[in-house]
Amino acid sequence: MTVLAPLRRLHTRAAFSSYGREIALQKRFLNLNSCSAVRRYGTGFSNNLRIKKLKNAFGVVRANSTKSTSTVTTASPIKYDSSFVGKTGGEIFHDMMLKHNVKHVFGYPGGAILPVFDAIYRSPHFEFILPRHEQAAGHAAQAYSRVTKKPGVVLVTSGPGATNVITPIADALADGTPLVVFSGQVATSAIGSDAFQEADMVGISRSCTKWNVMVKDVADLPRRIDEAFEIATSGRPGPVLVDLPKDVTASVLKEPIPILSSVPSMNRRMKEVLEEGSKNVTAKIDRVANLLKLAKKPVIFCGHGVLANPECPTLLRKFSERLQIPVTTSLLGLGAVDERSDLSLHMLGMHGSGYANMAMQEADLILALGVRFDDRVTGNVSLFAPQARLAAAEERGGIIHFDISPKNIGKVVQPTEAIEGDVYESLKLLDSATKNIKIPSRFDWLSQIQTWKERFPFTFTRSAPGELVKPQEVIQELDKQTSDIKDKVTITTGVGAHQMWAATFYRWTKPSSLVTSGGLGTMGFGLPAAIGASVAAPKDIVIDIDGDASFSMTGMELATVRQFDIPVKILILNNEEQGMVTQWQNLFYEKRYSHTHQKNPNFVKLADAMGIKALRVEKREDLAKKMKEFLSTKGPVLMEVLVAQKEHVYPFVPGGKALHQFILHESLS
């Protein structure tokens, strides 16, 4: 259970007032989604004691306390900032983007946000990317963030402009992507009157943001923008939304504003809380190190959290090699380890490798790093990791969960030990704690894994000459022709069967080289994500692996590619169906293909109409040559590959089944 749960009830503006002015300014510490206070001040306290210690650490007493009728804070002179005096809210926005080193903004203009757009008109300090739809702006900003490790910034107008970004916001929350969304709003005098293009964005976005706020006074704008960037990037990253009424962004600041620290002062009590939490973590790390001495069948399972710090994958690889522990990943964790290593188990879960699934079920010790145990990786939770649970009962193993978000710990899988905090810092402690211990031989365990690899390989039946190419062959050919340049390649995908083939038939070697929609599974993600990734890393080769159905949802972003001359490469696997859904209809609905087939436009002609070079592959024997041309083309290019229909994704763990109860390709059955 998440500690500080009682504080969740404080997620209203009014409730903050009773905890004093300074705490009211620190909403991130009490945020429903982030629970930052828990992350920052260690684990191991009971809820009530913990809340008391945190209040004492901040020097706060409730206003209705019998001991005091006012907030107790340390008095200090108030300083003022006059640098914004005489500037409009829009101009303040521009200056705050410079303060936060924003280089690119994605969005779409409209009436309610025009004061901001006017202020950034021809700004030489950052580039504005104008997509054809606000959803694409959000996905592009997500990918930009995933590549740069900085928050993506979105700027849209009110009403439909803002609601169109809700899907990317929800996607960013699910995948832990820092996103700062600024939405226009009707004037404060019109709020609540059902004015033209009015939408309650604070209410609408409350469930899919870490934090949101409407700025009602231009004097509050700098502080709110500072808070937005800090909250988006602190703890488990995620999206925030700042709603900007038009009269606020148009008004002029007339007086200096007080400089309010965005971080509470570090007093003696807070230091004591931090030190107590640190001692607690050290004791837990020592217990985990001892379990590594006892474990005979350990496995590391890593997720997106491992990629949050660029140094973490390097440390993980060295740690795994030194202790000879095999590693599997979630979809978003791909690239954390080099899949060419013998210790790589590739992806885990519903469409993961058979050997990763078997290893997870047979392991006596599981180190779960930066994961949230999504249902796609656990299978039937009650049947998940039985040997690790048995080992935990016998105190010789178990499930060790490392995560920065307290709400993710114990939410799905109850861990034997929970190490709450930054995964990289925790792994450094564990690495140090295991430097001088004697590790048992892993020979038998690694031999068993090799047997599973030989028994359960990723496989498919290749097409005959003259036939439509199999989609898996396309991914393998791409993998082959990029094998020597993978350090320069970033791949995005849409969502569907093509996403799973990309995950399993491409060998991932570079951290953060895959940018895809994981938790929410948003079709249409691939092309706008490729735009954002290419803007973030213009020297990289950015390839969107897409399906025809997924691509069609945001395909008009080809116009954005052309307008900004973004050198993305779009690879469309066209089977004229929603392949992942037809697989379920085939296996579980007696082949009743209800509304899952579609007639597509000619994608080659569509690209040509946009001024983008396009290729088509219809036969297997043309694939290698066309792939070479596709990869060597300078500037944007689209290649459509007509692929076989009803080609299923295997292995496949059906709903309600355990990880080891997977369906194999018919050639292995």
Q: pLDDT by residue (tens digit) across 407-438? A: 999 999 999 999 999 999 999 999 999 998 88
Q: If you average pLDDT over residues 519-541, what whole number do you get? A: 98
Residues 389 and 501 in one domain: no
Residues 446 and 303 in one domain: yes
Phi/psi of residue 105, nearest 5 degrees: -130, 140
pLDDT at 215 over 90: yes
pLDDT at 54 over 60: no
In a domain, 460, yes or no: no
Place of tokens 């509470």: 264
Edge-to-edge strand order for the sheet containing 365-369?
A: 344-347, 327-329, 298-302, 365-369, 398-403, 417-420
Q: What is the structure's pLDDT at 49? A: 43
Indicate if 556 belongs to the active site.
no
Query: Helix, strand, coil: what percent of the chain each, to 5?
Result: 45, 15, 40
152: alpha, beta or left, given left = phi > 0 and alpha = psi -120 to 50?
beta
Beta strand extents in 91-138 (DSSP E only): 104-108, 127-129
Structural domain including 244 reads 80-258
Average pLDDT, the chain: 89
In a domain, 104, yes or no: yes
Q: What is the structure's pLDDT at 259? A: 85
Question: How far is the C-alpha of 415 from the C-alpha of 406, rounded, in Å?
Answer: 12
Indicate if 246 belongs to the active site.
yes
Catalytic residue among 55, 197, 296, 481: 197
Pick out the residues of the known binding site: 134, 236, 351-372, 403-422, 548, 575
Residue 668: pLDDT band (50, 70, 90) is: confident
Residue 272: pLDDT band (50, 70, 90) is: low
Residues 127 and 221 in one domain: yes
Residues 588 and 630 in one domain: yes
Question: What is the CATH number for 488?
Answer: 3.40.50.970
Residues 438 and 544 in one domain: no
In a domain, 392, yes or no: yes
In a domain, 667, yes or no: no
Token digits for 390?
């048995």
H, E, C per residue of 442-498: CHHHHHHHHHHHHHCCCCCCCCCCCCCECHHHHHHHHHHHCCCCHHHEEEEECCCHH
Residues 276 and 424 in one domain: no
Pick out the residues of the known binding site for Mg(2+): 548, 575
In a domain, 250, yes or no: yes
Catalytic residue among 580, 610, 627, 639: 580
Residues 491 and 448 in one domain: no
Catalytic residue among 27, 53, 246, 626: 246
pLDDT at 151 over 90: yes
Residue 268: pLDDT band (50, 70, 90) is: low
Q: If you average pLDDT over residues 350-365, what whole number do you get? A: 98
Q: What is the structure's pLDDT at 260? A: 75
Residues 322 and 443 in one domain: yes
Beta strand extents in 266-397 (DSSP E only): 298-302, 327-329, 344-347, 365-369
pTM summary value: 0.88
In a domain, 658, yes or no: no
Residues 122 and 237 in one domain: yes
Of residues 260 and 349, the one with the higher pLDDT is 349
In a domain, 101, yes or no: yes
Catalytic residue among 196, 271, 605, 625: 196
pLDDT at 35 over 70: no
In a domain, 198, yes or no: yes
Q: Which of 75-84, 330-339, 479-488, 640-649 has the lowest mean pLDDT?
A: 75-84
CA distances from 230 to 184, 408, 528, 532 (A): 21, 21, 25, 22
Indicate if 196 belongs to the active site.
yes
Question: What is the CATH number for 307?
Answer: 3.40.50.1220
> Contact, 627 vs 640, CB < 8 A?
no
Residues 336 and 272 in one domain: no
Residues 66 and 30 in one domain: yes
Q: What is the structure's pLDDT at 74? A: 55
Token digits for 169?
């916001």
Residue 29: pLDDT band (50, 70, 90) is: very low
Transcribe 150-164 into DSSP letters.
Answer: S-EEEEE-STHHHHT
CA 184-167-312 angle, to 5 degrees, is 105
Number of domains within the chain: 4
Pick out the residues of the known binding site for thiamine diphosphate: 134
Phi/psi of residue 276, nearest 5 degrees: -65, -40
Q: What is the structure's pLDDT at 271? A: 54
Q: If you average pLDDT over residues 592-610, what whole number do you get? A: 96
pLDDT at 36 over 70: no
